[in-house]
Amino acid sequence: MKIISFNHKEGVAKIRVDTLDDLWHLSKIIETSDHISGEIKRKVKLSGEEERAKSVVKLYFAKILVKKIKLEASVLKVSGEIMEGSEELQIGAAHTLDIFTGDTIKIEKTWKEYQIRRLEEAEKASKAPKAIVCVLDDEQAHIAALTASGFQYLGGFELRLAKKRFVEKADPGLGKVVAEILRLNAESNPNTIVIASPIFWKENLVKALVEKDAKIIKKIKMEGVSTGTKRALTELINRGVLEKVLKSSQIQKEFELIESLMTEIAKKGLAVYGKDVIPAVEAGAVKTLLFTDRIIEKAREQEKFSEFEKLIDAVEQQGGEVHIISTDYEAGEKLDGLGGIAALLRFKI
């Protein structure tokens, strides 16, 4: 989550949604009678004969007075009355604003302290580095951290690398780049390290990194770019490379959580699943609560989500973490096979 702006005096927060967990946090923050602004999609028929008329999807701005909030598999549906909007929209009409990851919305409300704290904690979590990115050529190198909220530029280095592949020429500048990447890897432990350059310079840097730490090769992803300047970072974004890295990072995070769960279950250790989660929560033993997007959807359909919601609230009040696991991938399917809900424990019960 990215808090783009927050006017505390007027109670207006502009927020970008980055992950499924962000949608969960927003479902707990947004209340009826709040005002939510964002883009809504409407199908519009193009002019022409009735039976041949084609439809296109157009985006319109709308501010909605919230009357209902519904969290589904990968979307937060906020329904209510249109208060303001594009001239094509009817003021006072009922509509649903669908909020997906990647969307930007504005929330206007009377904020409670715990809601502000939750918002700030969600943003803090999204700032954790998912990848370290280094772009370079023979004259320069630039390093940035990639988070769910975007890029954080970390600095640049001057280089004097050989312009021919097989010329051995030591460059102290490259040693500084290697040392900095190794330091960042040890400090923030990202899932991925992207090394990008024109021609062969990326291979030279990877070779130097592996000489210092052979295990680092498992994290490295090499990409070609047209330049080693800071502009190459934008190039990677435009090509969708970094979006794939972020998606992969989220999948990896979910995989690791479920692998930890399965390991604890196998050895009858600090884990419970299904109906056994309830007494574990009541005992204050839950360190990490895991549930699938699919179980949320089912609970909503069966109008049983309020009970489920109380369980999650209790875990958070006890200082535990809550994670939504997507059933689009293997980790979510494994958890769904355990009933869609499980927990890693602080202590056995």
Number of domains in the chain: 3
Task: Specify the length of the chain in residues.
Answer: 349
- 175 domain residue, yes or no: yes
For the chain, count helices (H), then strands (E): 10, 16
Domain coverage including residue 329: 256-345
Q: Are residues 118 and 12 in the same domain?
A: yes
Q: Which CATH number do you get for residue 60?
A: 2.30.30.870
Q: Where is the domain boundary, 126, 147, 175?
A: 126
- 249 domain residue, yes or no: no
- 198 domain residue, yes or no: yes
Which residues make Cβ contacts (< 8 Å) with residue 180, sequence separation at least 6? 143, 154, 155, 157
Q: How confident is the model at residue 45 (pLDDT cuts 50, 70, 90)?
A: low
Q: Are residues 139 and 41 in the same domain?
A: no
Q: Which CATH number do you get for residue 150?
A: 3.30.420.60
Q: Which CATH number do you get for residue 312?
A: 3.30.1330.30
Which residues make Cβ contacts (< 8 Å) with residue 253, sequence separation at least 6? 191
- pLDDT-wise least confident of 7-11, 85-89, 151-155, 227-231: 85-89
- 245 domain residue, yes or no: no
Q: How confident is the model at residue 48 (pLDDT cuts 50, 70, 90)?
A: low
Model confidence, pTM: 0.65
Q: Where is the domain boundary, 183, 214, 239?
A: 239
- pLDDT-wise least confident of 40-44, 77-81, 250-254, 320-324: 40-44
> For residue range 109-127, what is the model confidence (pLDDT) as tens digits?
999 887 898 899 888 877 7
- 281 domain residue, yes or no: yes
- Rounded Cα distance between 14 and 1, Å, is 11
pLDDT of residue 50 exceeding 60: no
Q: Are residues 26 and 106 in the same domain?
A: yes
Three-state DSSP state, 120: helix
